[in-house]
Homo-oligomer: A and B are copies of this chain.
């Protein structure tokens, strides 16, 4: 595939369309057309600010008369606003006008819109949201981060296969290790559903057994598989814990003159660390198991985060993650489908 087309929700994100348009322009190239979906007047105005950027000739504006804000109930808004930019971005994929969709806006709305409007890939029982999080092992794939509140053992087995492919293609790990999230290492620990999933996962290449909550920050495995309820709680807790600790650290660095001097000297090193751990910079989440990759970035991300999210979506298209997921599910159909 020579030319990839990514539909970007230009009205998503804290200061939309400013940052989204800027990031889209940074990503656009002769190989990558970016469809800027949103209020055409506002987008056109932003575009005039960046006439000199080389990407300027590789963006297309798609008008969307409505938008979903960050404070709305995303799932509800995605249903109630069929002409919103996030819904129309996903519809570009459904209609064949784009190969992938990206939004930096309301996470719930993007999840709901992509599940509603981008059809499931062949062989996939349930799509899953995969997120790439910083960890002691570099980066770890966690899925499902919230596409489905409930999961069956066979779903978790498919999540494992999908996460494995993502780790191979996006993280570049040839033989990723996979763990099933539970509350003890033994196969008989956890809920009945998790115990049954453990048995089904045994034939998934790279499966090392159960892992615990502590293994997520440690990066014990490349891929952590769980249901969307637990995964969503874990992801939001992890992001928020990092923010809480950075705040506490900042307060500590203001607590005395000595600490202030120390903090000032340490700042560049801490900023590099924060950049590595910053959720805005590691590409957000991706909905797997649908016919076109859907990438969900963080609303507070800057233009570099937007570019990164668009490029992750394009890479997933070029690497044919979707086609390979279907092929893999066909090759290893699993006990419940056999």
Report which A residues bind B (CB closer than 8 A). Answer: 73, 75-76, 108, 135-136, 146, 149-150, 181-186, 189-192, 194, 212-218, 226, 228-230, 232-245, 247-249, 251-253, 255-256, 258-259, 261-270, 272-273, 276-277
Known: A269-B256, A277-B248. A233 touches B234 (CB 8 A): yes
Q: Smallest distance from the beta carbon of A142 to chain B beta carbons, Å?
A: 10
A135 / chain B contacts, CB cutoff of 8 Å: 244
B237 and A253 contact, CB distance less than 8 A: no
Name the residue of chain B whose CB is nearest to the CB of A244: B217
Known: A233-B230, A239-B214. A273 touches B248 (CB 8 A): yes
B217 and A232 contact, CB distance less than 8 A: no
Q: Smallest distance from the beta carbon of A67 to chain B beta carbons, Å?
A: 20
A253 / chain B contacts, CB cutoff of 8 Å: 266, 269
Which of B76, B218, B226 sits near A244, CB closer than 8 Å?
B218
Which of B191, B233, B255 sits near A183, CB closer than 8 Å?
B233
- In order of increasing CB-CB distance, the 9 nearest A-B pairs are A262-B265, A213-B236, A262-B266, A213-B237, A214-B240, A259-B269, A217-B244, A213-B233, A183-B232
Complex CA gap A181/B240 in Å reads 15
Which of B237, B259, B262, B268 sits near A216, CB closer than 8 Å?
B237
Complex CA gap A105/B124 in Å reads 44
B249 and A258 contact, CB distance less than 8 A: no
Copies in the complex: 2
Complex CA gap A258/B261 in Å reads 11
B240 and A217 contact, CB distance less than 8 A: yes
Majority DSSP secondary structure for residues of A touching B: helix
A183 / chain B contacts, CB cutoff of 8 Å: 146, 149, 228-229, 232-233
B150 and A192 contact, CB distance less than 8 A: yes
A-B contact pairs, 20 of them (CB 8 A): A108-B184, A146-B183, A149-B183, A149-B191, A191-B229, A194-B229, A212-B236, A213-B235, A214-B240, A217-B241, A217-B243, A248-B273, A249-B270, A252-B266, A252-B270, A256-B268, A259-B266, A259-B268, A262-B265, A263-B266
B237 and A217 contact, CB distance less than 8 A: yes
Name the residue of chain B whose CB is nearest to the CB of A219: B244
A247 / chain B contacts, CB cutoff of 8 Å: 136
A226 / chain B contacts, CB cutoff of 8 Å: 233
Q: Smallest distance from the beta carbon of A179 to chain B beta carbons, Å?
A: 12
A150 / chain B contacts, CB cutoff of 8 Å: 191-192
Name the residue of chain B whose CB is nearest to the CB of A247: B136
* Most chain B Cβ neighbours within 10 Å, of A183, A186, A190, A234: A183
* Most chain B Cβ neighbours within 10 Å, of A184, A192, A228, A276: A184
Complex CA gap A209/B294 in Å reads 31
Complex CA gap A249/B274 in Å reads 9
A212 / chain B contacts, CB cutoff of 8 Å: 232-233, 236
B249 and A232 contact, CB distance less than 8 A: no
Complex CA gap A171/B270 in Å reads 34
A252 / chain B contacts, CB cutoff of 8 Å: 266, 269-270, 272-273
A136 / chain B contacts, CB cutoff of 8 Å: 244, 247
Complex CA gap A50/B321 in Å reads 65
Complex CA gap A239/B232 in Å reads 18
